[in-house]
């Protein structure tokens, strides 16, 4: 089974701590890259979230966007305490006086912008926070994986169709290859008969030239290797493992190598056309593989 690297998932979790929404998007990437946009209150869980995502997804760029609205009870616990704000106000008033500024500039808005100088308030129910974030991640990632599987089936069907098309072209090359040698032998024999009168000399030179030509155009090994690569490619498409993208890319590279060799050795127009058709299908497959996990 193959998975696409493109997917989207969302979740909403509501608990006594508050409301958490999550959107996960995944796109193609050669390796796994996880980007997390996380509210400060959840920052201590970032490493665990990354580990969780990497256990579910092997390849692709994954972006997680969390939005958290604390419950009414927890909003008050997250606000700066009055005592801390009063101490901050007194400190800024003293500093402004020493610097010759007016005290009335120390407004509540100004103090709230300076809360970095006072201890940060946090929700104390860490267990509920953790449960909320991983419930949310679990729901969203399951949705993403289902979408990636669904798109993977579409890609798989297209790849199988293209592999079958390549195999048909390869079969036509396999049938045409022996005929090419015979046609060359006929043309060369006619040419030698016009030049030489001695039949034994004609036969001798003909054998040598045909042997050299046959060696140059022999694509038996290339056909066999390409056929084996195609069979292995199809087996990987049907394999239970989901992360096969890199293996398929390697096999496709080997297929292209054999197709290029066949094209370079081709001395027949039909074989050349078939080789070009194979290379064209390989390029289209290459594009599809860019989005396989």
Over residues 168-199, the pLDDT tens digits come to 999 999 888 777 666 655 555 565 555 555 56
The most distant pair of C-alpha atoms in the chain lies apart, rounded to whole Å, by 121
What's the rounded Cα separation, in Å, for the pair 60 and 65? 16
Only one residue has tokens 């808005």, namely: 109
What's the rounded Cα separation, in Å, for the pair 219 and 267? 11
Range among 48-62, 94-108, 208-222 with highest mean pLDDT value: 48-62
Give residue 224's pLDDT.
93
Of the pLDDT bands very low, low, confident and very high (cuts 50, 70, 90), residue 234 is very high
Burial tier of 212 (Cβ tally within 10 Å: 0-12, 13-18, 19+): exposed
What's the rounded Cα separation, in Å, for the pair 21 and 2? 29
Average pLDDT over residues 230-246: 89
Contact 122, 10 (CB under 8 A): no
Give residue 176's pLDDT.
83
**22: phi > 0 → left, psi -120 to 50 → alpha, else beta; which?**
beta
- What domains are there in the chain, each with its CATH number? 7-74+125-149 (3.30.230), 80-117 (no CATH), 151-289 (no CATH)
Give residue 129's pLDDT.
85
pTM above 0.75, yes or no: no
Average pLDDT over residues 18-42: 92
Provide the token pair at 180.
């090419």
What's the rounded Cα separation, in Å, for the pair 129 and 123? 8
């Amino acid at each position: 089974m193959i998975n696409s690297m493109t997917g989207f998932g969302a979740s909403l979790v509501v608990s006594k701590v508050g409301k958490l929404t999550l959107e996960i998007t995944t796109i193609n990437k050669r390796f796994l890259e996880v980007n997390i946009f996380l509210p400060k209150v959840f920052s201590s869980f970032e490493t665990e979230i990354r580990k969780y995502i990497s256990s579910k997804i092997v390849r692709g760029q994954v972006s997680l966007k969390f939005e958290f609205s604390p419950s009414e009870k927890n909003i008050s616990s997250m606000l700066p305490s009055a005592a801390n704000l009063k101490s901050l106000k007194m400190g800024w008033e003293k500093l402004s006086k020493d610097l010759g500024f007016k005290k009335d500039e120390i407004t509540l808005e100004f103090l709230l912008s300076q809360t970095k100088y006072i201890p940060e308030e946090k929700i104390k129910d860490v267990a509920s926070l953790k449960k909320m974030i991983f419930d949310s991640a679990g729901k969203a990632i399951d949705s993403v994986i289902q979408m990636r599987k669904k798109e993977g089936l579409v890609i798989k069907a297209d790849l199988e169709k293209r592999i079958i098309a390549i195999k048909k072209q390869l079969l036509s090359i396999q049938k045409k290859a022996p005929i090419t040698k015979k046609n060359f032998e006929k043309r060369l024999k006619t040419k030698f008969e016009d030049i030489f009168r001695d039949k034994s000399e004609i036969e001798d030179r003909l054998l040598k030239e045909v042997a050299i030509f046959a060696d140059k155009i022999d694509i038996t090994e290339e056909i066999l290797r390409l056929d084996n690569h195609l069979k292995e490619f199809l087996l990987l498409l049907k394999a239970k493992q989901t992360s096969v993208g890199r293996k398929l890319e390697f096999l496709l590279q080997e297929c292209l190598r054999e197709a290029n060799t066949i094209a370079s050795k081709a001395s027949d127009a039909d074989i050349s056309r078939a080789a070009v058709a194979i290379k064209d299908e390989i390029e289209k497959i290459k594009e599809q593989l860019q989005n396989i996990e």
